[in-house]
Amino acid sequence: MASELTGALAQAMADLDEMKVQDLVKAGLAAGVSPSRLLDECREGMTLIGERFETGEYYLSDLIMAGEIFKVAAADLAAQGGSSGPAKGKVVMGTVKGDIHDIGKDIVVTMLRGANYEVTDLGVDVEPAKFVAAVKETGAAVVGMSGLLTISFDPMKETVDALKAAGLPVKVMIGGGPVSEQVREYVGADALGVDAQSAVALAGQWLAA
C-alpha cells in the first residue's frame, strides 16, 4: 500500500495534479509512510517535470505551477520532519543589481530545491557584495545570477569580478531572456543556463562528487 501511494505521488506531481498531490501526502502520512520518503517522491515528480519541459511537453507556465505545488507539499512535509538527508550541494541565487524580475529565478530556485540542492535565494536587485557575503557565509560552490534587462550585464560582470577578487572558488552560471553566449563571455561566467532544467544539470555537473 505504501509503495502504491508513493509511486502515485510522484506521478501526480509530474501531472501537475495539485489536489491529488495534497491528498496523497495526507494519505501517505496517515498510512505511516515517512515524510522523507514522500518528499523524495515529490522530488522524483519534479525530475519528471523537468524532462517533460526539455521535450517540449511542458512550458514555462507549467514550471511555475509545478513550483507552487512543490513548495506547498515540501513545506507540509518539512513540518512533519521530512528530510532527504544531506543536500547534494549549496547554491546561491539572485537577480542582479538594477533588475527586479524574479519569475525565472524563482523557477530555477524551485527546480534546484526539488533536485535536493540547498539554495540561498538572495531575491532581486542584489549587489555584488551581497553575493560575495552569501558565498562566504554558506560555503556555496555555485552561484546563479539572473537578469531580464540588458542593464543587468554590467552588474553580472561586477559580481563575477567581486567573487574572483574575494578569492572564492565558485562556478558561476547566468540566465535570463536577453542573456546569450556572447554575454556570458563578456560577464566572465562559467556557463549559460538557458532554462531551469539546464541550471539543474549544470549544478549536477559542478557539484558531482
Residues with a known catalytic role? 99, 101, 152
Q: Phi and psi (nearest 5°) for 189?
A: -75, 165
Gap between the Cα atoms of 153 and 149, Å rounded: 8
Count CA within 13 A, CB hemisphere, residue 119: 23
Cell (9 digits) for 188 = 566572465
Cell (9 digits) for 113 = 530545491
- The DSSP letter of residue 98 is T
Cell (9 digits) for 24 = 496523497
E strands, the chain, in order: 90-95, 118-121, 142-146, 171-175, 191-192
Gap between the Cα atoms of 198 and 188, Å rounded: 18
Q: Quickly count: other Cβ atoms within 10 Å of residue 55's Cβ.
A: 8
Gap between the Cα atoms of 13 and 10, Å rounded: 5
